[in-house]
Chains A and B, each alone.
Chain A
């Protein structure tokens, strides 16, 4: 009998990476200039986690995927218009900041609370997924705290591959130093996995999936509870853009041989 997994994915939105970002100071701490105007995308590594979750669910009939997101409601809605067309899931939305400067411990508490409130959660079939780092805070700390708050102590980070077995055990490959993977076997669920890139391409848009998802996405956004992040005990003494812009020398008229000579000399210099 294949296991019907419960897969809860944590993931939010980040500014489109092609945008130029500029920090500003607000009474509540640092923020991005025109933050609410910037086009947003699903946080990339959380996106991989979502696609891996959907793939696992597809192979195990009866499985279900939830996406738990803390973000500004309007931004979440905008991003869900495309994400909801990719794979089936049920959205649990919390209306709060998706800022890189928001304290991860406070976001983790909000996420854990939302997960605990899912009716019928069964630890013996539960995977909690997320990205191993966000493209905003880039810390790789939120998921571990979510796991702690849920009492999950089998945790894996930088996961590129998950292989499940019918007895409920699984194997995970995590990124470690020097382009290698650590291989671990875990005998039982629940477990928490922070995904790196994994192995799946981004699924194409499927309007049928979109229609199905939208039935729950819109009500979830309407229901979204506000989350206050106080950034308790944190002070940002400064936030600044790197100053140096390089004076790029553009070399157009050298032969490939002469360029090669220059490159070899440059590489050889201490």
Chain B
């Protein structure tokens, strides 16, 4: 018997994002399979009425909210107060929340404050013999575990993109407001804004169907004895513009950019995929001029279909990591790919 709190924050427009709806679906499913359990929704934001109405049909026993200008921004010192108040008001034994940057920052602290425990980057929930459990990866996506806990409250953050979002009827909901007290000490941090690359430099697109990964090969000396960084830049940006793919990189390539060499200027550490980079989720991935070494490919765990273009038939992609390895010059291939995409457009 668990009291499951679905915990979400609003987006800037006051609605719930896709990852929140995915977490709601997971929370509902878990409540359905654990006998005697009930579901409560807890929402945080400047205003949560729109969000609550959006999920009116989710069969939540209660809708709790912490609202106000102080709770509009993504800030540890106020978010922790909100989360603690909601978990207490709900008497939650399990808290299921989307693994957004905002919740990743604060929920471990909240678990500590409430004497509970936390698992982040969960990829799913399980319920064997009426015992709730989660699946998550260890050692940078190298091994997968099923974890169960007896300690409560148990906070579970689900990685975005692992499940289907909840869909259902909107309606009119009565939100029970919870009003935790704040002091000046909670307001020492001010969120002043977001810094984003200009639109044409915005190469990270989490919702793209394709991840396009560039490796250090793009900057290396080519068969004609010279490097061609300018053309590499044009080919990559040209492909991104036409395909709307998200851009990933190897560590070697972003490190080169950091050292100020004449390389691809639009590449930053945020593009890096792998052991010390990200593990994005996309249905397809195309790797070019990249060797496919283990510390890089652990970042490909959640890319379903994988193809690679490399001059070297013995590059690591050939060792059971890609579905198809094209042994070819990526400059020649991508020139033609871009031409074909332009024809299609």
**Chain A residues within 8 Å of B, Cβ to Cβ:** 14-15, 17-18, 20-21, 23, 30, 32, 44-45, 100-101, 103-105, 108, 135-145, 147-149, 153-158, 160, 171, 173-188, 196-197, 199, 201, 232-242, 245-252, 254, 256-257, 259-264, 266-268
Contacts and interface: CB of A to CB of B under 8 A. Distances in A.
A251 B188 contact: no
Given A140-B120, A239-B138, A246 B76 contact: no
B70 interface: no
A131 B113 CA distance: 21
Nearest to A251: B326
Contacts of A196: 269
Given A17-B140, A260-B337, A139 B119 contact: yes
B200 interface: no
Contacts of B188: 154, 186-188
Nearest to A177: B101
B89 interface: no
Contacts of B298: 17
Q: Contact residue range for chain B?
A: 35 or more
B168 interface: no
A185 B189 contact: yes
B104 A157 contact: yes
9 contacts: A44-B275, A141-B108, A153-B77, A176-B194, A179-B271, A185-B189, A237-B126, A249-B323, A259-B336
Contacts of B327: 250-252
Contact of B258 (A148, A153, A199): A199
Interface in B307-345: 307, 309, 313, 317-329, 332-337, 339-341, 344
Nearest to A32: B139
Interface SS, A side = mixed
Interface stretch (B58-66, B144-152, B171-179, B219-227): B144-152
B284 A267 contact: yes
A181 B195 contact: yes
B169 interface: no
Given A179-B270, A251-B325, A264-B340, A236 B320 contact: no
Given A21-B139, A250-B327, A185 B190 contact: yes
Q: Pick the most buried of B194, B259, B313, B317: most chain A CB atoms within 10 A of its CB.
A: B194
Nearest to B320: A245
A141 B120 contact: yes
Interface SS, B side = mixed
A171 B84 CA distance: 26
B3 to A, nearest CB: 18
Q: Which 4 pairs, one residue from A and one from B, show the smallest C-beta to C-beta distance?
A: A179-B204, A260-B336, A141-B108, A256-B332
Contact of A184 (B141, B192, B269): B192
Nearest to B190: A185
Contact of B328 (A23, A147, A187, A259): A259
Contacts of A237: 126, 128, 133, 145-148
A247 B321 CA distance: 8
Contacts of A139: 108, 118-121
Q: Pick the most buried of A157, A196, A197, A249: most chain B CB atoms within 10 A of its CB.
A: A197
Contacts of B332: 256
Contact of B321 (A147, A248, A268): A248
Contacts of B76: 144, 153-156
Nearest to B209: A267
B276 A44 contact: yes
A17 B255 contact: no
A188 B187 CA distance: 11
Contacts of A177: 100-101, 206
A256 B333 contact: yes
B82 to A, nearest CB: 13
Contact of B185 (A153, A261, A264): A153
B202 interface: yes
Contact of B101 (A144, A158, A241): A158
B36 interface: no
Contacts of A233: 117, 149-151
Contacts of B109: 144-145, 147-148, 153, 155
Given A100-B138, A158-B101, A236-B145, 18 more contacts: A44-B275, A138-B137, A145-B108, A153-B80, A154-B188, A155-B77, A178-B196, A178-B205, A179-B196, A181-B194, A182-B74, A235-B148, A246-B321, A248-B319, A251-B324, A251-B325, A259-B333, A267-B209
